[in-house]
Amino acid sequence: MDPLNFQRRRQELMHLMGEGIAILPTAPHQSRNGDVLFQYRPDSDFYYLTHFPEPESTMVLAPGRPEGEYILFCREKDQLKEIWDGRRAGIEGAVNSYGADQAFPIDEIETILPKLMENRDKVYTIMGRYPEFDSEIIHAVTQVRNKQRSGATAPGEIVDLGHVLHEMRLIKKKDEIKLMRQAASISAAAHIRAMEQTRPGRYEYQVQAELECEFRLGGSEWPAYPSIVAGGENACILHYTENNCVLNDGDLLLIDAGAEYDCYAADITRTFPVNGQFSGPQKALYEVVLASQKAAIDAVAPDRPLIDYHDAAVGVLTDGLIDLGLLSGERNELIETHAYQPFYMHRTGHWLGMDVHDVGDYKIEDEWRLLEPGMVLTVEPGLYISPREGVDSKWHNIGIRIEDDVLVTRTGNENLTDKAPKEVADIEHLMRHEKAA
């Protein structure tokens, strides 16, 4: 990554902040059990502004400060600790490799922070995410206040940094789109491998292993969220992650899995037959979901309200449910009364970026916001038919979702994940070919 991109982000943020000071910690290391820690992942906001990958670090932006505007607090180099736990950039590395104007040992933050806050009217920070850090900020503000008699002014306001920063993160720039393409392409290859490797008698976790192996081979550090590999009726559990059941001949397999690449997520769902061939009812429902997904993607374009693509999906799903006899009544009334909800109980998508459910407001002053070039969102309609009274048993336990990652462009949209097959004929062809091999 080009360090200039991060410098540009910091400058844009400082411009939006005016005279205030921004203070942002990264995520703490989390204990897993005993002496074992979870593998470390930095805080998305912190990483977006710094690209600094180490725990125990805090970024400060102090616009106009003569000794330097970008200050990084981080761990010092330590030969013994580095032999045990890995390399550290240290104070010099923070300046030379990560572009900080000044860096200080994290252990000194308590004494330095109040000085940095003096005579700044606002402190921009993230409250509520890391409670220990919230207390540090309040402690620092109090210290400046206690010094007021010697002429220092303490900040009068603590402002939510997310408000400004998350609007920046919502619009992806070229360098971010490049990383998202990479995450998307690794993930699409993994879904293809999963289709190739699925057979009746294999277990969900074995297909998960194939997927995640492809993620890692492609250079992804880990999945962007726990992979959902749900055979048969498990597909009707939206966040199923046990992945421990055998895959049965005649069932569908729903896989919702995406790779993370340099802290950017992909989020793909594909649903396909375990034996490579859709049954009549499976195909009928699948075609409805696919048509609704395509209609929703077509509604992703600049200046269109965000709700349009959800409405497009709901319209096609409702028509399909009527055609198949799963709903009866007048179309518009069924839509208005949300009659589809027993079969489609989630929304059609979400922002995607460094977080799989990425930051950014969905509404502005209570109105659905208009799409803009650079936004990335998922398009993921589905139908889930749990057994219920009045529903023909031929539909029972069929769960289908189809999910792609779509970039809003200047002229319309680009599907970043279209390499993962989703047409019935393409899936059946791919799986037939595999069986023959």
358 binds ligand GLY (CB under 6 A): no
Strand partners, 259: 223
Among Mn ion, ligand GLY, none, residue 251 binds (CB under 5-8 Å by kind): none
Q: Which of 24, 356, 376, 431 binds ligand GLY (CB under 6 A)?
A: 356
Rounded CA Rg of the chain: 25
Identified catalytic residue from 124, 310, 384, 405: 384
319 binds ligand GLY (CB under 6 A): no
Q: How far apart are CA 388 and CA 383, in angstroms?
A: 14
List, as own/partner pairs, every contact residues 81-88 make where C-beta atoms lie below 8 angstroms and the sequence separation is at least 24, other chains included. Answer: 88/54
Q: Name which of 40 and 225 has its Cβ closer to ligand GLY.
A: 225
Annotated active-site residue 160? The verdict is: no
183 binds ligand GLY (CB under 6 A): no
| # residues contacting ligand GLY (CB under 6 A) | 7
Among ligand GLY, Mn ion, none, residue 225 binds (CB under 5-8 Å by kind): ligand GLY
Cβ neighbourhood burial of 311 (10 Å; 0-12, 13-18, 19+): middle
Q: How far apart are CA 244 and CA 258, in angstroms?
A: 19
Annotated active-site residue 85? The verdict is: no
Structure tokens at 129: 């995410």
Phi, psi (deg, nearest 5) at residue 79? -55, -45
The sheet carrying 228-231 orders its strands as 228-231, 252-257, 268-273
Handedness of CA 362, 368, 372, 378 (dihedral sign): positive
Identified catalytic residue from 262, 267, 358, 405: 267
Annotated active-site residue 239? The verdict is: yes
Annotated active-site residue 29? The verdict is: no
Structure tokens at 198: 């699925």
Annotated active-site residue 75? The verdict is: no
Identified catalytic residue from 176, 256, 262, 319: 256
347 binds ligand GLY (CB under 6 A): no
Structure tokens at 377: 């969102």
Q: Which of residues 237-276 bind ligand GLY (CB under 6 A)?
A: 256, 267
Spacing of C-alpha 37 from chain mean position: 23
Handedness of CA 430, 431, 433, 437 (dihedral sign): positive
Annotated active-site residue 298? The verdict is: no
Structure tokens at 190: 């993994």
Q: Name which of 45 and 256 has its Cβ closer to ligand GLY.
A: 256
Identified catalytic residue from 65, 129, 199, 350: 350
Handedness of CA 154, 155, 158, 161 (dihedral sign): negative
β 70-74/31-33 pair status: unpaired
Annotated active-site residue 434? The verdict is: no
Q: What's the closest the beta carbon of residue 269 comes to Mn ion, in angstroms?
A: 5
On whether the CB atoms of residues 265 and 356 are closer than 8 A, the answer is: yes
Q: Name which of 23 and 184 has its Cβ closer to ligand GLY.
A: 184
Q: What's the closest the beta carbon of residue 215 comes to ligand GLY, in angstroms?
A: 14
Identified catalytic residue from 132, 149, 239, 365: 239
Annotated active-site residue 384? The verdict is: yes
Annotated active-site residue 15? The verdict is: no
Q: Which of 69, 262, 358, 380 binds ligand GLY (CB under 6 A)?
A: 380
Q: Name which of 54 and 405 has its Cβ closer to ligand GLY.
A: 405
Q: How far apart are CA 348 and CA 50, in angstroms?
A: 32
Annotated active-site residue 338? The verdict is: no
Q: What's the closest the beta carbon of residue 205 comes to ligand GLY, in angstroms?
A: 18
Q: Name which of 231 and 258 has its Cβ closer to ligand GLY.
A: 258
Q: Name which of 43 and 267 has its Cβ closer to ligand GLY.
A: 267
DSSP string, 294-353: HHHHHT--TTSBTHHHHHHHHHHHHHHHHHTTS--S-HHHHHHTTTTTTT--S-S--B-S
Q: What's the closest the beta carbon of residue 142 comes to ligand GLY, in angstroms?
A: 41
Residues at the site binding Mn ion, with contacts judged by CB under 5 A: 256, 267, 378, 403
Catalytic residues: 35, 239, 256, 267, 346, 350, 357, 380, 384, 401, 403
Residues at the interface with ligand GLY (CB under 6 A): 225, 256, 267, 350, 356, 380, 403
